[in-house]
Protein backbone atom coordinates (compact mmCIF):
# COMPACT_ATOMS: atom_id res chain seq x y z
CA UNK A 1 0.00 0.00 0.00
CA UNK A 2 1.51 3.33 -1.05
CA UNK A 3 2.30 6.10 1.42
CA UNK A 4 -0.40 8.24 -0.14
CA UNK A 5 -3.07 5.63 0.56
CA UNK A 6 -1.86 5.23 4.12
CA UNK A 7 -2.10 8.97 4.71
CA UNK A 8 -5.65 9.15 3.47
CA UNK A 9 -6.93 5.94 5.05
CA UNK A 10 -7.90 7.59 8.34
CA UNK A 11 -10.77 10.07 8.44
CA UNK A 12 -9.19 11.58 11.53
CA UNK A 13 -6.11 12.63 9.53
CA UNK A 14 -7.54 14.00 6.31
CA UNK A 15 -11.25 14.76 6.13
CA UNK A 16 -13.24 15.74 3.08
CA UNK A 17 -16.72 17.28 3.14
CA UNK A 18 -19.10 14.45 2.37
CA UNK A 19 -22.01 16.82 2.08
CA UNK A 20 -20.49 18.19 -1.10
CA UNK A 21 -20.82 14.92 -3.02
CA UNK A 22 -24.46 15.45 -3.97
CA UNK A 23 -24.36 14.36 -7.61
CA UNK A 24 -24.97 10.65 -8.22
CA UNK A 25 -22.19 10.69 -10.81
CA UNK A 26 -19.82 12.19 -8.27
CA UNK A 27 -20.65 10.20 -5.16
CA UNK A 28 -17.89 9.42 -2.68
CA UNK A 29 -16.68 5.94 -1.87
CA UNK A 30 -15.78 4.26 1.41
CA UNK A 31 -14.08 1.34 -0.34
CA UNK A 32 -10.40 1.14 0.55
CA UNK A 33 -9.76 -1.64 -1.97
CA UNK A 34 -7.17 -0.53 -4.54
CA UNK A 35 -8.37 -0.44 -8.13
CA UNK A 36 -6.65 -2.60 -10.71
CA UNK A 37 -5.81 0.32 -12.91
CA UNK A 38 -4.29 2.12 -9.95
CA UNK A 39 -2.13 -0.86 -9.05
CA UNK A 40 -0.91 -1.01 -12.65
CA UNK A 41 0.13 2.60 -12.29
CA UNK A 42 2.51 1.68 -9.45
CA UNK A 43 4.90 0.26 -12.04
CA UNK A 44 5.39 3.72 -13.45
CA UNK A 45 6.70 5.29 -10.22
CA UNK A 46 10.30 5.05 -11.34
CA UNK A 47 9.69 7.66 -14.01
CA UNK A 48 7.17 10.38 -14.56
CA UNK A 49 4.77 9.64 -17.39
CA UNK A 50 5.34 12.44 -19.88
CA UNK A 51 2.52 14.30 -21.58
CA UNK A 52 -0.10 12.29 -19.71
CA UNK A 53 -3.65 12.53 -20.97
CA UNK A 54 -2.94 11.95 -24.66
CA UNK A 55 -5.21 9.52 -26.45
CA UNK A 56 -3.98 6.18 -27.72
CA UNK A 57 -1.29 6.72 -30.32
CA UNK A 58 0.04 9.94 -28.77
CA UNK A 59 3.81 10.00 -28.54
CA UNK A 60 4.93 9.30 -24.95
CA UNK A 61 7.72 11.40 -23.57
CA UNK A 62 11.14 10.17 -22.57
CA UNK A 63 11.03 8.16 -19.37
CA UNK A 64 7.60 6.54 -19.86
CA UNK A 65 7.27 2.98 -18.66
CA UNK A 66 4.79 0.30 -19.48
CA UNK A 67 3.19 0.57 -16.08
CA UNK A 68 3.31 4.34 -15.88
CA UNK A 69 1.89 5.11 -19.32
CA UNK A 70 0.24 2.29 -21.24
CA UNK A 71 -1.47 0.85 -18.18
CA UNK A 72 -2.09 4.22 -16.63
CA UNK A 73 -3.09 7.71 -17.75
CA UNK A 74 -2.81 6.89 -21.48
CA UNK A 75 -5.01 3.81 -21.34
CA UNK A 76 -4.98 1.67 -24.48
CA UNK A 77 -8.69 2.13 -24.93
CA UNK A 78 -8.15 5.88 -25.30
CA UNK A 79 -11.04 6.55 -22.93
CA UNK A 80 -10.23 9.81 -21.24
CA UNK A 81 -10.07 9.52 -17.46
CA UNK A 82 -11.09 5.87 -17.57
CA UNK A 83 -12.36 4.45 -14.29
CA UNK A 84 -9.52 3.26 -12.16
CA UNK A 85 -6.83 4.59 -14.52
CA UNK A 86 -3.49 4.98 -12.80
CA UNK A 87 -0.25 5.95 -14.45
CA UNK A 88 1.63 8.57 -12.51
CA UNK A 89 3.30 8.12 -9.18
CA UNK A 90 0.59 10.34 -7.72
CA UNK A 91 -2.33 8.66 -9.35
CA UNK A 92 -2.08 9.31 -13.07
CA UNK A 93 -4.55 11.30 -15.09
CA UNK A 94 -7.49 9.16 -14.00
CA UNK A 95 -9.24 10.61 -10.93
CA UNK A 96 -10.00 7.13 -9.68
CA UNK A 97 -6.34 6.19 -9.42
CA UNK A 98 -4.58 4.32 -6.66
CA UNK A 99 -3.65 6.45 -3.69
CA UNK A 100 -7.15 7.64 -2.80
CA UNK A 101 -8.43 6.17 0.40
CA UNK A 102 -11.93 6.23 1.87
CA UNK A 103 -11.92 10.02 2.17
CA UNK A 104 -11.45 10.37 -1.55
CA UNK A 105 -12.94 12.85 -4.01
CA UNK A 106 -13.59 10.27 -6.70
CA UNK A 107 -16.68 8.16 -7.16
CA UNK A 108 -16.91 4.47 -6.45
CA UNK A 109 -16.48 3.67 -10.12
CA UNK A 110 -13.53 6.01 -10.58
CA UNK A 111 -15.64 8.92 -11.83
CA UNK A 112 -14.34 12.40 -11.00
CA UNK A 113 -16.06 14.35 -8.27
CA UNK A 114 -16.88 17.41 -10.32
CA UNK A 115 -16.74 20.86 -8.71
CA UNK A 116 -15.92 19.23 -5.35
CA UNK A 117 -14.66 21.43 -2.55
CA UNK A 118 -11.88 19.58 -0.74
CA UNK A 119 -11.41 20.18 2.99
CA UNK A 120 -8.39 18.57 4.62
CA UNK A 121 -6.54 18.63 7.92
CA UNK A 122 -2.86 17.89 7.35
CA UNK A 123 -1.58 14.93 9.42
CA UNK A 124 1.60 14.87 11.47
CA UNK A 125 3.75 13.45 8.68
CA UNK A 126 2.22 15.64 5.97
CA UNK A 127 0.56 13.98 3.00
CA UNK A 128 -1.19 14.13 -0.35
CA UNK A 129 -4.47 15.91 -1.01
CA UNK A 130 -5.79 15.30 -4.56
CA UNK A 131 -8.29 17.65 -6.16
CA UNK A 132 -10.49 16.42 -9.04
CA UNK A 133 -11.37 19.19 -11.46
CA UNK A 134 -14.22 19.87 -13.90
CA UNK A 135 -11.76 19.43 -16.79
CA UNK A 136 -11.30 15.81 -15.76
CA UNK A 137 -7.77 16.45 -14.54
CA UNK A 138 -6.36 15.90 -11.05
CA UNK A 139 -3.96 18.16 -9.19
CA UNK A 140 -2.29 16.68 -6.11
CA UNK A 141 -1.01 18.84 -3.25
CA UNK A 142 1.75 17.13 -1.26
CA UNK A 143 1.96 18.92 2.08
CA UNK A 144 5.17 18.84 4.15
CA UNK A 145 5.27 17.63 7.74
CA UNK A 146 5.79 21.23 8.87
CA UNK A 147 2.20 21.95 7.75
CA UNK A 148 0.80 19.41 10.24
CA UNK A 149 -2.44 20.47 11.88
CA UNK A 150 -3.34 23.06 9.26
CA UNK A 151 -6.87 22.93 7.90
CA UNK A 152 -7.06 23.78 4.23
CA UNK A 153 -9.86 24.23 1.71
CA UNK A 154 -9.25 23.75 -2.00
CA UNK A 155 -12.09 24.91 -4.25
CA UNK A 156 -12.22 24.35 -8.03
CA UNK A 157 -13.29 27.55 -9.77
CA UNK A 158 -12.61 29.28 -13.11
CA UNK A 159 -10.71 32.19 -14.65
CA UNK A 160 -13.59 34.64 -14.25
CA UNK A 161 -13.32 34.35 -10.46
CA UNK A 162 -9.97 36.16 -10.63
CA UNK A 163 -10.93 38.69 -13.30
CA UNK A 164 -9.63 36.85 -16.37
CA UNK A 165 -11.67 35.78 -19.43
CA UNK A 166 -13.42 32.43 -19.32
CA UNK A 167 -11.19 29.70 -20.72
CA UNK A 168 -7.92 31.57 -20.16
CA UNK A 169 -6.80 28.84 -17.76
CA UNK A 170 -7.46 25.12 -18.06
CA UNK A 171 -7.82 24.63 -14.29
CA UNK A 172 -8.22 27.06 -11.38
CA UNK A 173 -8.21 26.28 -7.65
CA UNK A 174 -8.90 28.75 -4.85
CA UNK A 175 -6.72 27.87 -1.87
CA UNK A 176 -7.74 28.80 1.65
CA UNK A 177 -7.03 30.16 4.17
CA UNK A 178 -6.11 32.86 1.70
CA UNK A 179 -2.66 34.27 2.35
CA UNK A 180 -1.40 31.25 4.29
CA UNK A 181 2.35 30.72 3.97
CA UNK A 182 4.37 27.54 4.39
CA UNK A 183 7.91 27.34 5.78
CA UNK A 184 8.53 24.30 3.58
CA UNK A 185 6.95 24.30 0.13
CA UNK A 186 3.99 22.24 -0.95
CA UNK A 187 4.76 20.11 -4.00
CA UNK A 188 2.14 20.42 -6.74
CA UNK A 189 1.83 17.59 -9.26
CA UNK A 190 -0.52 17.72 -12.23
CA UNK A 191 -1.87 14.79 -14.18
CA UNK A 192 -1.91 17.12 -17.21
CA UNK A 193 1.85 17.78 -16.75
CA UNK A 194 1.47 21.49 -17.55
CA UNK A 195 4.70 23.32 -16.78
CA UNK A 196 3.43 26.90 -16.46
CA UNK A 197 1.31 27.25 -13.32
CA UNK A 198 0.66 30.61 -11.66
CA UNK A 199 -0.47 31.85 -8.24
CA UNK A 200 -2.91 34.79 -8.50
CA UNK A 201 -4.36 37.02 -5.80
CA UNK A 202 -7.81 35.75 -4.77
CA UNK A 203 -9.66 38.80 -6.01
CA UNK A 204 -12.22 39.28 -8.77
CA UNK A 205 -10.10 42.08 -10.23
CA UNK A 206 -7.68 41.10 -12.99
CA UNK A 207 -4.11 41.14 -11.69
CA UNK A 208 -0.64 39.76 -12.19
CA UNK A 209 0.66 36.50 -10.79
CA UNK A 210 3.68 34.70 -9.40
CA UNK A 211 5.02 31.61 -11.16
CA UNK A 212 5.66 28.28 -9.45
CA UNK A 213 9.26 26.99 -9.76
CA UNK A 214 10.19 23.37 -10.42
CA UNK A 215 11.14 20.97 -7.66
CA UNK A 216 14.53 19.26 -7.73
CA UNK A 217 13.26 16.17 -9.56
CA UNK A 218 11.44 18.37 -12.12
CA UNK A 219 8.24 16.38 -11.86
CA UNK A 220 6.41 18.86 -9.65
CA UNK A 221 6.13 22.54 -8.77
CA UNK A 222 6.73 24.34 -5.47
CA UNK A 223 4.09 26.44 -3.70
CA UNK A 224 4.67 28.47 -0.51
CA UNK A 225 1.73 30.87 -0.53
CA UNK A 226 -2.03 30.25 -0.71
CA UNK A 227 -4.14 32.39 -3.02
CA UNK A 228 -5.55 31.10 -6.33
CA UNK A 229 -3.74 28.52 -8.47
CA UNK A 230 -4.17 28.72 -12.26
CA UNK A 231 -2.91 26.23 -14.86
CA UNK A 232 -1.89 27.88 -18.14
CA UNK A 233 -2.68 25.84 -21.28
CA UNK A 234 0.06 25.93 -23.90
CA UNK A 235 -2.27 27.42 -26.52
CA UNK A 236 -2.87 30.49 -24.33
CA UNK A 237 0.54 30.83 -22.75
CA UNK A 238 1.33 34.04 -24.67
CA UNK A 239 -1.79 36.21 -24.71
CA UNK A 240 -4.21 34.14 -26.83
CA UNK A 241 -1.55 32.03 -28.58
CA UNK A 242 1.24 29.62 -27.71
CA UNK A 243 4.61 30.91 -26.59
CA UNK A 244 6.35 27.59 -27.26
CA UNK A 245 8.74 27.02 -30.21
CA UNK A 246 10.17 23.55 -31.06
CA UNK A 247 13.54 23.05 -32.72
CA UNK A 248 13.85 19.60 -34.35
CA UNK A 249 16.91 17.42 -33.78
CA UNK A 250 18.63 20.16 -31.83
CA UNK A 251 22.21 19.60 -30.67
CA UNK A 252 21.25 20.98 -27.25
CA UNK A 253 19.37 17.71 -26.73
CA UNK A 254 22.16 15.43 -27.95
CA UNK A 255 22.54 13.84 -24.51
CA UNK A 256 18.87 12.94 -24.08
CA UNK A 257 18.41 10.08 -26.54
CA UNK A 258 15.10 10.07 -28.38
CA UNK A 259 14.14 13.37 -26.72
CA UNK A 260 15.89 15.24 -29.53
CA UNK A 261 13.60 18.24 -29.93
CA UNK A 262 14.56 21.39 -28.05
CA UNK A 263 11.47 23.36 -27.06
CA UNK A 264 11.78 26.89 -25.71
CA UNK A 265 9.32 29.46 -24.44
CA UNK A 266 9.46 33.05 -25.59
CA UNK A 267 6.75 35.67 -25.14
CA UNK A 268 7.20 39.43 -24.90
CA UNK A 269 3.55 40.13 -24.18
CA UNK A 270 4.02 39.61 -20.41
CA UNK A 271 0.26 39.51 -19.94
CA UNK A 272 0.74 37.54 -16.71
CA UNK A 273 3.06 40.31 -15.45
CA UNK A 274 5.93 37.83 -15.56
CA UNK A 275 8.93 37.37 -17.84
CA UNK A 276 8.89 33.60 -18.33
CA UNK A 277 11.90 31.64 -19.51
CA UNK A 278 11.52 27.91 -20.07
CA UNK A 279 12.96 25.08 -22.13
CA UNK A 280 13.19 21.28 -22.32
CA UNK A 281 14.13 18.37 -24.55
CA UNK A 282 11.18 16.27 -25.70
CA UNK A 283 10.24 13.58 -28.20
CA UNK A 284 9.45 14.48 -31.79
CA UNK A 285 5.86 15.66 -32.07
CA UNK A 286 5.77 17.46 -28.72
CA UNK A 287 4.80 21.12 -28.98
CA UNK A 288 5.38 22.33 -25.43
CA UNK A 289 7.41 21.51 -22.33
CA UNK A 290 5.83 19.49 -19.57
CA UNK A 291 6.67 18.23 -16.11
CA UNK A 292 9.11 15.34 -16.31
CA UNK A 293 10.62 16.35 -19.66
CA UNK A 294 14.38 15.99 -20.02
CA UNK A 295 16.37 19.08 -19.05
CA UNK A 296 13.15 20.93 -18.15
CA UNK A 297 13.57 24.41 -16.67
CA UNK A 298 11.29 27.37 -15.97
CA UNK A 299 12.02 30.70 -14.28
CA UNK A 300 9.91 33.78 -13.59
CA UNK A 301 10.86 37.44 -13.23
CA UNK A 302 8.42 40.23 -12.43
CA UNK A 303 7.97 42.44 -15.49
CA UNK A 304 8.77 45.57 -13.47
CA UNK A 305 7.37 48.80 -14.83
CA UNK A 306 5.16 46.97 -17.31
CA UNK A 307 2.75 49.67 -18.39
CA UNK A 308 1.40 47.65 -21.34
CA UNK A 309 -1.01 46.02 -18.92
CA UNK A 310 -2.18 48.44 -16.26
CA UNK A 311 -3.10 45.62 -13.88
CA UNK A 312 0.58 44.63 -13.73
CA UNK A 313 1.28 47.64 -11.55
CA UNK A 314 0.17 47.09 -7.96
CA UNK A 315 -2.60 49.54 -7.18
CA UNK A 316 -2.69 52.35 -4.67
CA UNK A 317 -6.34 52.90 -3.77
CA UNK A 318 -6.20 55.55 -1.06
CA UNK A 319 -3.92 57.57 1.20
CA UNK A 320 -5.74 58.77 4.32
CA UNK A 321 -5.55 61.59 5.12
CA UNK A 322 -4.29 63.06 1.85
CA UNK A 323 -2.23 65.67 3.70
CA UNK A 324 -0.38 65.95 6.98
CA UNK A 325 2.60 67.43 8.80
CA UNK A 326 5.89 65.68 9.45
CA UNK A 327 5.35 62.79 11.86
CA UNK A 328 1.63 62.42 11.11
CA UNK A 329 0.35 58.84 10.82
CA UNK A 330 -0.93 57.98 7.35
CA UNK A 331 -2.96 54.93 6.33
CA UNK A 332 -2.48 53.43 2.86
CA UNK A 333 -4.75 50.94 1.09
CA UNK A 334 -3.88 49.29 -2.22
CA UNK A 335 -4.80 46.39 -4.47
CA UNK A 336 -2.93 43.55 -6.13
CA UNK A 337 -0.11 43.63 -3.59
CA UNK A 338 -0.38 39.87 -3.20
CA UNK A 339 1.20 39.55 -6.65
CA UNK A 340 4.41 40.86 -5.11
CA UNK A 341 4.23 38.86 -1.91
CA UNK A 342 7.66 37.59 -0.81
CA UNK A 343 7.05 33.91 -0.14
CA UNK A 344 10.04 33.74 2.22
CA UNK A 345 8.50 36.34 4.53
CA UNK A 346 5.41 36.04 6.68
CA UNK A 347 4.43 39.70 6.58
CA UNK A 348 6.86 42.26 5.19
CA UNK A 349 6.88 42.26 1.40
CA UNK A 350 6.85 46.06 1.10
CA UNK A 351 10.32 47.58 1.04
CA UNK A 352 9.45 51.22 1.74
CA UNK A 353 7.27 54.18 0.83
CA UNK A 354 8.60 57.13 -1.14
CA UNK A 355 7.69 60.69 -2.03
CA UNK A 356 8.42 62.06 -5.51
CA UNK A 357 8.46 65.70 -6.54
CA UNK A 358 6.70 67.01 -9.65
CA UNK A 359 9.75 66.02 -11.72
CA UNK A 360 9.33 62.43 -10.52
CA UNK A 361 12.51 62.58 -8.46
CA UNK A 362 12.51 60.91 -5.04
CA UNK A 363 12.95 63.67 -2.47
CA UNK A 364 13.45 61.51 0.57
CA UNK A 365 17.16 60.52 0.33
CA UNK A 366 16.84 57.16 2.09
CA UNK A 367 14.02 54.63 1.82
CA UNK A 368 11.90 54.37 4.91
CA UNK A 369 12.88 51.37 7.01
CA UNK A 370 10.44 48.62 7.91
CA UNK A 371 9.94 49.78 11.50
CA UNK A 372 8.62 53.15 10.31
CA UNK A 373 5.31 51.57 9.41
CA UNK A 374 3.15 48.74 10.67
CA UNK A 375 1.98 46.49 7.87
CA UNK A 376 -1.49 45.08 8.43
CA UNK A 377 -1.11 41.29 8.73
CA UNK A 378 -4.82 40.67 8.20
CA UNK A 379 -5.00 42.83 5.06
CA UNK A 380 -1.78 42.58 3.09
CA UNK A 381 -3.01 45.40 0.85
CA UNK A 382 -2.71 47.97 3.66
CA UNK A 383 -0.08 49.66 5.81
CA UNK A 384 0.51 52.74 7.98
CA UNK A 385 3.53 55.02 8.12
CA UNK A 386 4.65 58.39 9.48
CA UNK A 387 5.32 61.36 7.20
CA UNK A 388 9.12 61.77 6.90
CA UNK A 389 10.99 64.98 7.55
CA UNK A 390 10.67 66.66 4.16
CA UNK A 391 9.78 70.26 3.22
CA UNK A 392 6.11 71.26 2.92
CA UNK A 393 4.67 70.81 -0.55
CA UNK A 394 2.67 68.53 -2.82
CA UNK A 395 4.28 65.22 -3.75
CA UNK A 396 3.41 61.98 -5.48
CA UNK A 397 3.45 59.08 -3.05
CA UNK A 398 4.20 55.42 -3.94
CA UNK A 399 4.75 52.08 -2.22
CA UNK A 400 7.94 50.28 -3.22
CA UNK A 401 7.98 46.48 -3.08
CA UNK A 402 10.95 44.33 -2.18
CA UNK A 403 11.61 43.46 -5.83
CA UNK A 404 11.88 47.18 -6.62
CA UNK A 405 8.52 47.47 -8.33
CA UNK A 406 6.67 50.69 -7.49
CA UNK A 407 2.94 50.96 -7.03
CA UNK A 408 0.83 53.49 -8.84
CA UNK A 409 1.19 57.00 -7.36
CA UNK A 410 -1.26 59.23 -5.51
CA UNK A 411 -0.80 62.89 -4.54
CA UNK A 412 0.04 63.78 -0.96
CA UNK A 413 0.56 67.23 0.59
CA UNK A 414 3.03 67.73 3.39
CA UNK A 415 1.80 70.64 5.49
CA UNK A 416 3.75 72.98 7.71
CA UNK A 417 4.06 72.14 11.41
Q: Given the DSSP bridges, would you call strands 410-415 and 323-325 parallel, antiparallel or unpaired?
A: parallel
CA–CA separation, 337 and 178 (whole Å):
13
Regions of the chain with pLDDT less than 70: 1-115, 304-307, 314, 335-351, 364-380, 402-404
Q: Which of 195, 164, 156 is nearest to 61 (CA)?
A: 195
Q: Please say whether the beta carbons of 286 and 246 come within 8 A.
A: yes
Q: Please say whether the beta carbons of 172 and 140 come within 8 A.
A: no
pLDDT computed for residue 379 by the predictor: 64
CA–CA separation, 145 and 125 (whole Å):
5
Contacts of 72 (CB under 8 A, 6+ apart): 37, 40, 41, 44, 49, 52, 85, 86, 87, 88, 92, 93, 94, 97
pLDDT computed for residue 173 by the predictor: 98
pLDDT computed for residue 304 by the predictor: 59
The pLDDT tens digits of the residues spanning 157-168 come to 999 999 999 999
Q: Which of 338, 343, 269 is nearest to 306 (CA)?
A: 269
pLDDT computed for residue 312 by the predictor: 78
What predicted TM-score, i.e. pTM, was given to this entire model?
0.59
Q: Which of 147, 157, 159, 205 is nearest to 381 (CA)?
A: 205
pLDDT computed for residue 327 by the predictor: 87
Contacts of 399 (CB under 8 A, 6+ apart): 314, 316, 332, 334, 337, 350, 353, 383, 406, 407
pLDDT computed for residue 363 by the predictor: 79
pLDDT computed for residue 119 by the predictor: 97
Q: Given the DSSP bridges, would you call strands 382-386 and 393-401 parallel, antiparallel or unpaired?
A: unpaired
CA–CA separation, 29 and 228 (whole Å):
28
CA–CA separation, 417 and 397 (whole Å):
20
CA–CA separation, 215 and 144 (whole Å):
13
| Cα 272 to chain centroid, rounded | 12
The pLDDT tens digits of the residues spanning 207-248 come to 888 899 999 999 999 999 999 999 999 999 998 899 999 999
| Cα 16 to chain centroid, rounded | 22
Contacts of 321 (CB under 8 A, 6+ apart): 328, 330
Amino acid sequence: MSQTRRLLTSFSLVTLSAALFGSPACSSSDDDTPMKGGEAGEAGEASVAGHAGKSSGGAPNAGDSAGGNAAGGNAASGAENAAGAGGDELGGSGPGAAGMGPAESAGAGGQPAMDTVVNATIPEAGGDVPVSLPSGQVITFTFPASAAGKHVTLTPTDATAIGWPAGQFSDVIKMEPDGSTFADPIVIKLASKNLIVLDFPSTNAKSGAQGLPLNASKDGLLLKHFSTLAVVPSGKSCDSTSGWTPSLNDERCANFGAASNYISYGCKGYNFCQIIQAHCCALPGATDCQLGDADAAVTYTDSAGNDTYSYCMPGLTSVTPSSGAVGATISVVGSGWDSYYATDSATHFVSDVRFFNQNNVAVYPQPLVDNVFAQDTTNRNALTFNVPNIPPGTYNFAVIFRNGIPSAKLPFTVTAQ
